[in-house]
Amino acid sequence: MTTPSITNSDEATTQRDVAQKSSTEPLIFERSKRGRRGYQLPPLDVPEQSLDELLPASLRRDEIADEVEVSEVDVIRHFTRLSKLNVSIDAGLYPLGSCTMKHNPRINEEIARTPGFALSHPLQPEHQVQGNLELLWTIEQTLKEIFGMPRVTLQPVAGAHGELTGILMVHKALAKSGNARKYILIPDSAHGTNPASAAFAGYEIRELKSNSRGTVELSTLEAAVNEDVAALMVTVPNTLGVFESEIRAMADILHAKGAYLYCDGANLNSFVGIARPGDMGIDVIHSNLHKTFSTPHGGGGPGAGPVGVSAKLVDFVPTPTVERREDGTFYLDFNHPDSIGRMRAFHGNFNVLVRALTYMRSMGPTGMRRIAQLAVLNANYIRARLRNHYHLPYDAPTLHEVVFSDKLQTAHDVHTLDIAKRLMDYGFHPPTIYFPLIVSGALMIEPTESEPREELDAFCEAMIAIARESEERPELVRSAPHTTPVRRLDEARAARQPILRWKR
Ligand SMILES: *Cc1c(COP(=O)(O)O)cnc(C)c1O
């Protein structure tokens, strides 16, 4: 094991290229010089008109606007400098737990750029877009197989949107049988979008306390389920990475009382191609395609949250669905009288669906299984290497992610936020912190399958070095980051009072 060179230095000796120097350079607005041009207009090829003819004086400025005047060189350098400040999966490990920040294969982009996909319009007549309809139909068939379920809607454009779609289907099914019920049960380890979606669909939330393994205790569930409960929303494996090994029994308890089992499928990467949610008794599940099926998802950018349903909910899926005729042609079917209706204008985030299907097809069933196996292996490698240096709050076996806490470091007054900030000095994006909420000072690490052994080792060595620094030089960790363009920001104020406009 090699020791990273930064251990004995407060200064910028990070192995990676953090574009530190450029933070002190003037902004593009400050580079403005009268008369600089970044473009040239072609010669006028229409009859010249006077300004008075074109725009009455009353609508015109008295003075020329105080615009930024810069050259092409200035602009290129400005944006290139900014691009170097971005941290991305293309630059290194991005272990943001629960987010599945895996490599996005470039073949996905190539296929998504195919003109027939990229330039088509959702209002084109069916006969012109048979290929696109076939793509939607094929991705539904593929997800049906992965889920082990009879129907999948592709309309939702995010995991949270899928949750809302799923709960609205449960609501409609229950309402149709005479009682829409009042409550959704949600374990205390759940992602915040679960209660938000259930509340948005009109339900009240009842929290289920996890047991000492971090999973749902059957007796707790049994005591909580009654004829007022519409569904349990559970994440499998849960946000600690622990598989709910009693999921089948949980389904039975719910079904016996006429309630539904909703699965938050954000963690599908840990069992895709190995186990099928439909076989677990799950009635409805969303998959974050942008997580498991490798489409870029930094900065909240376009996603897809298809929802699979069991036979009980098939009638309620959003319209239109894509169907295949006897003669092999495809059409949009609006004839679903019990449908919850549309969840989205048009057909979901089509370009994300193209990327996801490309990924599924390039992996194939065997490759898909391998994804899950390697994702679990990588997470457990990190777990094994770090467990003597960081506290493991739940000792149950974990799948594709591992949650540590700052319990050992708090003795030196070093906390999770400090550890995360210090990791940036070592050139790593920090893991998810302070989530799940049932772990005090959580550090939730998900390496994904796409990381090579060397990268995992470099990350573990940085984490071990930080654990040592926390004992020997805690102030160094508490005052991190030292090498980034900006230090610790007031995140709350940045969100509430963002400065979105440049003013001289
Ligand atoms: C990411 C995530 C969500 C929300 O998904 P979005 O696609 O961001 O809306 C919900 N639950 C869990 C466990 C997640 O990790």
Atom of ligand 1 nearest to the CA of 98: 15
Say how many Å lie between the CA of residue 190 and the centre of ligand 1: 10
Q: To 5 degrees, how large is the angle CA 180–CA 184–CA 190?
A: 155
Return the residue whose CA atom lies nearest to atom 15 of ligand 1: 98
Is 191 or 498 the better-scoring residue by pLDDT? 191
Q: Is 166 within the bounds of a domain?
A: yes
Lowest-pLDDT choice from 73-82, 112-121, 494-503: 494-503
Per-residue model confidence (pLDDT) at position 21: 45
The span from the CA of 343 to the CA of 164, in Å, is 9
Per-residue model confidence (pLDDT) at position 127: 97
Atom of ligand 1 nearest to the CA of 305: 7
Say how many Å lie between the CA of residue 408 and the centre of ligand 1: 29
Residues having CB closer than 6 A to ligand 1 are 98, 158-160, 191, 193, 235, 239, 264, 266, 288, 303, 305
Say how many Å lie between the CA of residue 297 and the centre of ligand 1: 11
Per-residue model confidence (pLDDT) at position 189: 95
Per-residue model confidence (pLDDT) at position 54: 86
pTM of the model: 0.88
Total count of domains within the chain: 1
Average pLDDT over residues 231-237: 98
Per-residue model confidence (pLDDT) at position 24: 59
Average pLDDT over residues 280-301: 92
Return the residue whose CA atom lies nearest to atom 5 of ligand 1: 159
Q: Is 283 within the bounds of a domain?
A: yes
The span from the CA of 382 to the CA of 24, in Å, is 36
Say how many Å lie between the CA of residue 114 and the centre of ligand 1: 29
pLDDT at 3 over 60: no
Per-residue model confidence (pLDDT) at position 25: 67
Using pLDDT thresholds of 50, 70 and 90, give the confidence band for residue 504. low
Q: Is 31 within the bounds of a domain?
A: no
Per-residue model confidence as pLDDT tens digits over 333-390: 999 999 999 999 999 999 999 999 999 999 999 999 999 999 999 999 999 999 999 9
Max intra-chain CA distance, the chain: 84
- Report DSSP letters for 416-470, one per residue: HHHHHHHHHHTT----EES-STTSTTEEEE---TT--HHHHHHHHHHHHHHHHHH
Return the residue whose CA atom lies nearest to atom 11 of ligand 1: 191
pLDDT at 175 over 80: yes
Radius of gyration of the chain measured on its C-alpha atoms: 26
Query: What is the domain-level CATH number for residue 302?
Result: 3.40.640.10
Atom of ligand 1 nearest to the CA of 193: 10
Q: Is 152 within the bounds of a domain?
A: yes
Using pLDDT thresholds of 50, 70 and 90, give the confidence band for residue 195. very high
Using pLDDT thresholds of 50, 70 and 90, give the confidence band for residue 20. very low
Average pLDDT over residues 303-322: 98
Q: Is 293 within the bounds of a domain?
A: yes
Is 47 or 257 the better-scoring residue by pLDDT? 257
Domain boundaries, position 138: 106-115+126-362
Per-residue model confidence (pLDDT) at position 248: 98
Say how many Å lie between the CA of residue 197 and the centre of ligand 1: 11
pLDDT at 13 over 80: no
Summary mean pLDDT of the chain: 92
Return the residue whose CA atom lies nearest to atom 2 of ligand 1: 266
End-to-end CA distance of the chain: 52
Say how many Å lie between the CA of residue 296 and the centre of ligand 1: 14
Using pLDDT thresholds of 50, 70 and 90, give the confidence band for residue 22. very low
Q: Is 137 within the bounds of a domain?
A: yes
Q: Is 37 within the bounds of a domain?
A: no
> Best mutation site among 96, 165, 264, 270 for ligand 1, i.e. most ligand atoms within 8 A of its Cβ?
264
Q: Is 324 within the bounds of a domain?
A: yes
Q: What are the residues whose beta carbons fall under 8 Å from the beta carbon of 239, sequence distance 6 or more?
A: 98, 189, 190, 191, 267, 403, 435, 436, 444
